[in-house]
Amino acid sequence: MQKRTDYNGVTYFYSEGLYPVRHGFSTRLGGLSKTPHTATLNTGFYRGDKDIIVQKNIERFCEAIAVDPHTLVVMPQIHSTEVRVVDRTMGGHGIYTPPTFECDALVTDSAGTALGVRIADCVPILLADPGAKVIAAVHAGWRGTVGDIVGKTVKKMCYLGACAEDIRAAIGPHISMANYEVGEEVARAVLDVVGEKALTLRHLRPAAEEGKFLCGLGAVNETLLLRAGLLPEHIDVCTLCTYENADLFYSHRRMGEKRGTMTAVIAI
């Protein structure tokens, strides 16, 4: 179950299923951004805030979840299925030092490392095998989802010593099926990755307009995590919609390019 909490004015969500691993899903509340479209906890650069404001917002969120921001690694996301293994020597990458690579999932077994992905409707997925001390952070838009980025991430975690049956997953706030209309291309890709026998109305259903469909990105990723070997009881799915809850979240589909960005962070 995912719960809302506040620390020093910063509002975020966390998953009981990942306890005691430090982690959190930020909201738009508790930061220093002043412009209407980024107010107030924008954690994304190039959104209209000065870099120092974004850094301070990241630091405020990290303080709330007891993570040292100088251990945090983030990267430019490109809606790919690229999974990158990083270590503690890369702490501060993409925050205090310029990014040197692009990908959409990070994995580490290096103690003293935190991983982050930025979101504004796409699906943030935090993964941890507490016993093996292997963690991952995944950004899954529709391209990453239909490319099974979560399955690729689980395989990379297992390569580092994790066991799929011991991995806990938290799927954070993301756009709901009711607000995520897609065309036939995306619908076909979802059908291909889920499979006709496994497909349900939680994954895909016809929209009001002919040739359009409603897609449940969270449900698709949940199915792919199960296929990767995770146990059902180890997957925690947040049902909060980033599109509907304008007071809590930035949303690309609702706001367009003129918006802020949330961040999901996990640390060992």
Query: Dihedral of CA 93/94/98/103: which sign?
Result: positive
Q: Which two tokens stand for residue 45?
A: 């650069």
pLDDT at 25: 98
> What is the mean pLDDT of the segment spanning 165-189?
98
pLDDT digits (tens, 9 = 90+) for 205-257: 999 999 999 999 999 999 999 999 999 999 999 999 999 999 999 999 999 99
- Quote the CA–CA distance of 218 and 205 in Å, as a whole number: 14
- Please write the tens of the pLDDT for every residue from 87-126: 999 999 999 999 999 999 999 999 999 999 999 999 999 9
Is 232 in a helix, a strand, or coil?
helix
- The 3-class SS string of 168-196 reads EEEECCECCHHHCEECHHHHHHHHHHHCC
Which single residue is written with the structure tokens 């924008």? Answer: 42
Tell me the pLDDT tens digit for each residue of 130-166: 999 999 999 999 999 999 999 999 999 999 999 999 9
Can you give the pLDDT at residue 1? 80
pLDDT on residue 163: 98
Q: Cα–Cα distances in Å, from 158 out to 4, 29, 137, 152, 167?
A: 30, 35, 14, 10, 9
